[in-house]
Amino acid sequence: MVILLASIFQGWYGFVNLAIAGLLILVYFLIASLWAAHKIFDGSEIIDAIFQIGELQASQTMVYIDLGLRSKGIAFSRRLSTGRIIILDVYNPQLAPARWLARANQRVKRPIEDPRTIWKSGDIDLLPLSDQSAPAVILIMTASEFLQEGDRMQLLEEIHRIMTLEGYLLMVERVRTPTNWLTMGPGALRLTSPAYWHSILNRVGFRITQEVVQNDMTQLFRAEKGL
């Protein structure tokens, strides 16, 4: 906008078209990013897909791995009747240093009292649950917030440890897709490919049994313990 106004006042009309084009590009990416954020962080569609692909029941126990944000864990609890959800907060600003996460954690309110919800704090290298005690574990864009692959592996290894033999992991991650390129531009370079998550899950010992693409932006993996 500054360049556009300066070009008009100075009579540099050759720069006006360039400035307008640049402004339109910025407006496009702003609108596209807001649309994408609504689709992803609203969460209702993702939660619906998780319940469907995981065949989750309102009477069962499940584990949700959180980064201190609490909102999605509460959203899951509201869909339960006699079941319960154990929400494990593994947020560590040194391992997941995104500024938006730090700001969001500062604004988070105290957890509400709900008999369907159990709140626990833990570390990615030691989740506060015993071996083979979790029938279903849920991750929503959590593993990718850890910058080091070793930290992601450690978290997934702990999940593998606490899962029952018949249990499964339901993991959602934003991946490189045409829509993400259109909404994020060069920022999509920060995203990983579905093949990356295939590789890391297989290395930990998981076997992917199903996957679903949501809005051409996120991918939901259902993974079980490998035989």
Least confident span in 5-19, 32-46, 73-87, 95-109: 5-19
Q: Does residue 188 carry a pLDDT above 90?
A: no
- pLDDT of 4: 45
25 vs 69: which has the higher pLDDT = 69
- Nearest-angstrom CA–CA distance, 124 and 126: 6
pTM reported for the whole predicted model:
0.81
Mean pLDDT of 128-142: 96
Instruction: Kindly give the residue spans of alpha helices, DSSP state H, lying in the chain.
Output: 2-10, 13-41, 44-53, 71-77, 99-107, 149-162, 178-184, 194-204
132: left (phi over 0), alpha (psi -120 to 50) or beta: left
In this structure, what are the phi and psi dihedrals at residue 206, rounded to the nearest 5 degrees? -90, 155
